[in-house]
A and B are shown apart, each in its own frame.
Chain A
Amino acid sequence: MAKSNKGISIIESLVCIVIIGIGFIAIMQLSAFSINSMDRATERNKLNYLSEMVMEDMIGDPDNVSKYGNFTKTCSSGNQSASDLHTRMKKKWDDMLQQKNLMKIDNKDRIPSCDSYDTKKTFVNTGANTTGRVNFFTGKGKRKKYLGVVVK
């Protein structure tokens, strides 16, 4: 009877606190993960529009669409000279994919994170139908965005 009124020992309460603490840490990590997810969702949303931009530029110049393939964008910005339309368009893609000159916060460019696996490529296949395609990889190459259209 005396034992049942004893309550919990300091060891028991410490173990309990440690377990609750681990739970708190897990939830905090979940919270941080959801913030990152939200940022990623925004970046993916922007990337969807940028992939549409590439397709629209191909559709807008159907006679020269074969020149719009073989575009490769990695983390570094290309310095293409803008001599003709398709080169100018590729320069625009390069700038917009890097979100160059859109917004500065605390005097720093807000640039999306980029890894060596994060490549953005375009392909054009000519044949009975001419098709254009984009493969955009982000998130260390894990998140993949594909979009293709029949240009003509």
Chain B
Amino acid sequence: MRSKNSGFTLAEVLVATVIGIISIAAAFASYNYFNKSYKSISQKAYINNTAREALSILTKELRNTGYVDPNYLANSPESNRTERTVRMDFISVSSKRFGGKYGQSDYLQLWYTNSAKESHYIVYMLQKYQDSNDYYLAKYATLNRHASNANMYMRNELFIPYVEDFQVILKDKEGKILVPVCDSGCGSVEDSQGRLTVVNTKYGQLTKGQANVDLVHTAEIYLTLRSPKEVYAKAKPTKIINGEAPHGSNIDIPADKYHRETFFVSVHTRNLAKHVAISEQTGTSIGESSSYNK
């Protein structure tokens, strides 16, 4: 009877305490590990998903860029649309304009039609968050920009969050970098490359920045994103080596704990280097019969 009420011995209590402490320490370490893993996974997934969705749209728009519906010039609700004025809108890159946190990012303008009465003017540029020093890629889109009732249907829409760098490099048919390709609101890089030099073209006199639009064959995008929250336990310095001269120079980011990824896409701008208008009636190219496509 006595032994039944004796409780635990000191040794038992000590062993139980040690086992308990080990168990709690293991549980605590596991919790920390899972927490860090979850943070890392969710941040990487966020970057990956954001880039995938946004770049799909961006590449699609670059493929459409410069497409002019065969009936657009005759039926457009926009005023003063001629082959000459239309082609000036096709594509424009302003290097280092709205350059973002590190002053290297580009400003991209695109234009295309998706019917005889609808043209889309799209602008991508980096914008600063109001409550921090970080930047996002903003999208502005206007329907029938030159019409009296032009409709900006996207104004400063947050297209891609936490963008560190956005480089747009246009190349000609020989794979060489094409600068300047810019009509208005150009950057210092375009100015230094003789943007305003007047050249004779089949459309009459144009600036070099406008005339080069016809030579754009490929658009390459370098997009560097940063995780919204810190991921790593140890701070590391990062160097972004996006772009090619004269577009930008390397970006040295002081050591921090954020995760970064650079995504690269290359798109053949099939409607710029060689204009091909497809007849909606026959589904075949009307390039030979259309003066626009000669």
Residues of chain A touching chain B, judged by Cβ–Cβ distance below 8 Å, are: 2, 5, 10, 13-14, 17, 20-21, 24, 27-28, 31-32, 34-35, 38-39, 41-42, 45-46, 49-50, 52-53, 56-57, 59-61, 85, 88-89, 92, 96, 99, 101-107
Contacts and interface: CB of A to CB of B under 8 A. Distances in A.
Contacts of B27: 24
B268 A57 contact: yes
Contacts of A50: 264
A35 B55 CA distance: 23
Contacts of B222: 102
B218 A56 contact: yes
A102 B223 CA distance: 10
A42 B222 CA distance: 15
Interface string B23-41: 1001100100110011011
B266 interface: yes
Given A56-B267, A107-B239, A102 B4 contact: no
Q: Is chain A's binding surface mostly helix, strand, loop or mixed?
A: helix
B270 A60 contact: yes
B134 interface: no
Contacts of B217: 60
A143 B217 CA distance: 32
A89 B266 CA distance: 11
**Interface size bucket, B side?**
35 or more
B113 to A, nearest CB: 21
Interface of B: 4, 12, 15-16, 19, 22-23, 26-27, 30, 33-34, 37-38, 40-41, 44-45, 47-48, 51-52, 55, 59, 173-175, 217-218, 222, 224, 236-242, 260-268, 270, 273
Nearest to B41: A38
A104 B239 CA distance: 5
A64 to B, nearest CB: 11
Nearest to A100: B241
A14 B16 CA distance: 10
B240 A103 contact: yes
